[in-house]
């Protein structure tokens, strides 16, 4: 039985940090700060529904492989479940459960009427042809057909998926319903009801948070030295927008390693180079090769981890030189590392705030679809910016008044809002 199957082991190495335990620890800390009743935090520490399905897929060579696909619905107290679908070899049920919980707090923090969910399949999409990926996406969504829907659970892209997969999933759902249902997913292509601004939204939100945090320190983006781990949907967009705003992006990386230039990389040229070289960035002229561990410990003003979780840990935390870390990925800084950074006076702006631009524009896409009225990009970006800036200000205000870290402040706001709604709705039966 291979690693992609239903009963694959969850704990690949002794250094394994369980993402769900970490997510529950953050919830516990917020519950303590909010003095929540035991029953409330007990309810919120459990996902409402966990679905694992088998996905039999015919490979192009005729072989049949059976993959495991997960969808975890953490909470729908504030509205339909919302969360991405990840295609990545490290996907496990625990990881998906942790990410579903994070989505609940993120939507609550941003004040959008959604609950939290996440989905994933443990595959390396690069090992599959486009037609195999289409068969996997379609079968996955058809297995989940009774669990999703525009007012039930609305998937979106995450690592390893994009507008292309969302289009296949929307089509599969629609064919099964007998009519077009664009609202079943967000992050769709524009041709089927996607929103302008969605592709760059998470990176744009990261840029807004970095800009606001620098402004609070009396600084601007101009000339600020930034290192970014990950050059995909989120890292690539953040790099481009920060570069356009005058920041010096001194390093970026992919899973294969990174490139570094003391005086800053030309991000438009690097993007063009990556497009021409099958997404590879190594060999980019006028840049030195560096490893991912080296990138994280570079001397810089701002560090943006925009790839995977558990990248800044007890192992490397003492070598981190940035004094502002903006979490563009979900869970890139471990709980212990976060405490060490706080003790050293390093500010960590948490994922549930910093990478919320994507779900905000997903929400705006859903609103536009439901009202059959589509907005120009300026309006989409403006609405998103306003929600991101408001959330940033609320988090910093809570952090200052309660004398707690921005991470705990963000959790206090997110968890507090859900707990209030739970209290108001009451417990059935």
Report the interface residues with ligand NAD, using CB under 6 A.
Answer: 157-160, 202, 229-235, 253-255, 292, 306-308, 328-330, 355, 358
Q: Which is nearer to ligand NAD, 41 or 297 (CB)?
A: 297
Q: Which is nearer to ligand NAD, 173 or 231 (CB)?
A: 231
Closest approach of Cβ 428 to ligand NAD, in Å? 32
Structure tokens at 201: 């939204």
| 314-327 as b/e: b if 16+ CB within 10 A | eeebeebebebbbb
Residue number of the CB atom closest to ligand NAD: 232
User: How far apart (Å, rounded) are the C-alpha atoms in residues 172 and 85?
Assistant: 15
Q: Which is nearer to ligand NAD, 95 or 171 (CB)?
A: 95
Closest approach of Cβ 154 to ligand NAD, in Å? 14
Closest approach of Cβ 282 to ligand NAD, in Å? 12
Contact 51, 93 (CB under 8 A): no
Tell me the CA distances in angstroms from 130 to 116, 126, 294, 329, one per residue in order: 29, 9, 34, 25
Closest approach of Cβ 299 to ligand NAD, in Å? 19
Using alpha carbons only, what angle is made at residue 387 by residues 384 and 393, rounded to the nearest 5 degrees?
135
Is 118 in the active site? yes
Q: Which is nearer to ligand NAD, 196 or 234 (CB)?
A: 234
Q: Which is nearer to ligand NAD, 22 or 330 (CB)?
A: 330
Closest CA to 92 of 387, 308, 325: 308
Closest approach of Cβ 391 to ligand NAD, in Å? 14
Structure tokens at 175: 């064919």
Closest approach of Cβ 169 to ligand NAD, in Å? 15
CB atoms within 10 A of CB 273: 18
Q: What is the chain's Cα-based Rg?
A: 21
Closest approach of Cβ 163 to ligand NAD, in Å? 11
Q: Which is nearer to ligand NAD, 40 or 309 (CB)?
A: 309
Q: Which is nearer to ligand NAD, 41 or 71 (CB)?
A: 71
Q: Catalytic one among 82, 106, 118, 188?
A: 118
Catalytic machinery residues: 118
């Amino acid at each position: 039985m291979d690693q992609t199957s239903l009963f694959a082991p969850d704990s690949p190495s002794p250094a394994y940090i369980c993402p769900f335990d970490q997510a529950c620890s953050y919830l516990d800390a917020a519950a303590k700060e909010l003095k929540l009743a035991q029953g409330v935090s007990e309810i919120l520490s459990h996902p409402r529904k966990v679905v694992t399905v088998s996905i039999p897929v015919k490979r192009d060579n005729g072989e049949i492989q059976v993959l495991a696909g997960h969808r975890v619905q953490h909470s729908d107290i504030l509205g339909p479940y919302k969360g991405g679908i990840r295609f990545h070899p490290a996907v496990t049920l625990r990881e998906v459960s942790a990410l579903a919980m994070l989505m609940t707090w993120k939507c609550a923090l941003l004040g959008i009427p959604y609950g939290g969910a996440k989905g994933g399949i443990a595959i390396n999409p690069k090992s599959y042809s486009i037609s195999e990926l289409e068969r996997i996406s379609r079968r996955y969504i058809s297995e989940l057909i009774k669990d999703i829907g525009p007012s039930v659970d609305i998937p979106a892209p995450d690592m390893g998926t994009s507008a292309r997969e969302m289009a296949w999933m929307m089509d599969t759902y629609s064919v099964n319903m007998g009519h077009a249902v664009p609202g079943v997913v967000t992050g769709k292509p524009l041709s089927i009801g996607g929103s302008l601004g969605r592709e760059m939204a998470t990176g744009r939100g990261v840029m807004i948070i970095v800009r606001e945090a620098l402004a609070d320190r009396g600084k601007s983006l101009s000339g600020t030295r930034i290192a970014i781990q990950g050059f995909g949907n989120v890292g690539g967009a953040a790099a481009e927008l920060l570069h356009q705003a005058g920041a010096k992006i001194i390093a970026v990386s992919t899973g294969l390693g990174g490139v570094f230039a003391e005086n800053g990389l030309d991000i438009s040229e690097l993007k063009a180079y990556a497009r021409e070289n099958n997404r590879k960035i190594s060999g980019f002229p006028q840049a030195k090769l560096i490893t991912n561990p080296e990138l994280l410990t570079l001397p810089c003003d701002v560090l943006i981890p925009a790839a995977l979780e558990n990248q800044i840990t007890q192992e490397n935390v003492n070598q981190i030189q940035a004094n502002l870390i903006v979490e563009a990925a979900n869970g890139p800084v471990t709980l212990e590392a976060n405490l060490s950074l706080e003790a050293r006076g390093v500010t960590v702006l948490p994922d549930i705030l910093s990478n919320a631009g994507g779900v905000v524009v997903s929400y705006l896409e859903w609103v536009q679809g439901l009202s059959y009225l589509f907005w120009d990009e300026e309006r989409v970006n403006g609405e998103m910016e306003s929600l991101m800036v408001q959330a940033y200000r609320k988090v910093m205000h809570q952090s200052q008044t309660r004398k707690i870290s921005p991470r705990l402040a963000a959790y206090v706001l997110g968890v507090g809002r859900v707990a209030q709604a739970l209290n108001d709705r009451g417990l059935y039966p």
